[in-house]
Amino acid sequence: MHQPAEFHERTGNSSSQAAFRPIIFVVEDDEDIARLISHNLQAAGFEVQSFVSGASVLTEAVREMPVLFLLDVMLPGTDGFELCRHIRQTPALSAIPIIFLTAKTAEADRVKGLELGGDDYITKPFSPRELVARIRSVLRGLGQVPAAGEVLRLGELEIDVSSMTVQVQGRNVLTTVREFRLLEHLATHRGRVLTRDQLLDAVWKETPFVTPRSIDVYIRRLREKIELDPRHPQYLKTLRGIGYRFEVPK
């Protein structure tokens, strides 16, 4: 029996030690699955705040600032895809990783989740150990920051590696963690042609959610954010049948 839609609970240690446990927001309307997830994430050292719908997720997230969202897709009211869209459109939350956990296994659903800004996509039934491993894999990407203070200035594009921020013509551009890592990798290897497999190995490593062709989706999203004319990109060049190359406009 499900809890009312507005119900949410916070689990984890209530002592001062809990303050040092990173918080993961779990949005899952199946009570048994939510408890299974919470149990395993707590055992792995996380604090969990669980929701059965997306009704209050954004408000609570701005207040609590979780390190990651774990979203079911099929939710009452606003579904997981739409909730992802709202998260990515909220400046304070836009860079927080999102993992979808769902029974929807079709390739079209995976691509949709990726295009909306998802960082991974795990299908039910799932292994709790794999779930924890995939969460840690996504969060490890947050710590892979090169030397503090490094700023790449490339034409009218500025990439601040230490703060993970991007500016185009002095205007801040919001990117997800994966988008930033992909852009950073291409920019630091500017002039080199990188295949889709090379980009996967550099940015995603253990994540099976992203396929070589999925790189095209990420490139398209980045072009929409940093290129003046995404159809005629200045920075992110396509080498048909091979991969991509970052160029600095002359």
Please report, in tens digits, the pLDDT of each residue of the chain (250 residues total): 344 444 455 555 444 343 457 899 999 999 999 999 999 999 888 999 999 998 899 999 988 889 899 999 999 888 999 999 999 888 888 888 999 988 877 778 888 888 888 888 888 888 898 899 888 888 876 553 334 447 889 999 999 887 788 999 999 998 888 888 899 999 989 988 999 888 888 887 666 666 777 889 899 999 999 999 999 999 999 998 889 999 998 7
Helices 80-88, 107-115: axis angle to 10 degrees equals 20
Question: 105 and 57, same structural domain?
Answer: yes
Question: 215 and 125, same structural domain?
Answer: no
Question: 40 and 136, same structural domain?
Answer: yes
Question: 138 and 156, same structural domain?
Answer: no
Q: Which of 125, 143, 161 is the last residue of a domain?
A: 143
Question: 170 and 137, same structural domain?
Answer: no
Domain residue limits at 28: 8-143
pTM score, two decimals? 0.61
Query: Dihedral angle at the C-alpha atoms of 245, 116, 136, 216, nearest 10 degrees?
Result: -20
Tokens representing residue 193 in the block: 């042609």
Beta-carbon contacts of 208 under 8 Å, excluding residues fewer than 6 positions away, are none
- Structural domain tally of the chain? 2
